[in-house]
A = this chain, B = another copy of it.
Amino acid sequence: MRMAELSAESGVPVATVKYYLREGLLPPGERTSPNQARYSAAHVQRLRLIKALTEVGGLPLASVGVVLSAIDDHETPHRTMGVVQQELAGTPPKVSDEAAEWASGLMADLVRRRGWKEHPPAHRTIGNLVAALATAKELGQEKLIERLEEYAELAMRVAELDVEVVVGLTSVDKIIETGLIASVLGDRIFAGLRHLAQEQVSREVLGR
């Protein structure tokens, strides 16, 4: 297909498609003349993926570039998803040393008790968790912290569903792409469902 059709199919404006081509986020099409190129269904899918990462996932374009490079490097799914998760996690917010130390201990205990893989403190998912727990502590939200183990248990149940979406896929590229999409969209979907559910439960429990 030509550029105009690629834009229409993906819902991404021509100027933006050209920008992505220049930035290397989208691989070049097959050149058919000095001024024209032909694009494939893979280009449409890549554009939709970029759109999902930026618009639904809220990822800055620089992070999208890192994520797409990780995919294109054709490493193992496990390694690629590691890079992807780090990028999705962003930069953990700063908290006071004292609160961070306390929260790090809490996380280390949880990871050990559950037999999860241990990560260095610089791991961004751990960093985000530590920052959120430290903030909860500083705000006096002990009850939230006390339920960490129960949240972790439910997170395992959700993760089991998450991983099911890639089970049965045979192409490594497909596993990685699906894992990425499920991760980005899955967080948004679950947060939305949780808010609707909170409304429901709070009406039942608090009666207002």
Contact = CB atoms under 8 A, between A and B. Distances in A.
A62 interface: no
A190 B155 contact: yes
Give the number of copies in the complex: 2
Contact of A165 (B45, B49, B128, B147): B147
Given A144-B186, A188-B128, A201-B163, A194 B155 contact: yes
Contact of A117 (B115, B161, B200): B200
A185 B154 contact: no
A182 interface: yes
Interface in A175-208: 175, 178-179, 181-183, 185-203, 205-206, 208
Interface stretch (A13-21, A31-39, A132-140): A132-140
Contacts of A83: none
Interface of A: 11, 45, 48-49, 51-52, 55-56, 76-78, 81-82, 85, 88-89, 93-94, 96, 111, 114-117, 125-126, 128-129, 131-133, 135-136, 138-141, 143-144, 147-148, 150-152, 154-167, 175, 178-179, 181-183, 185-203, 205-206, 208
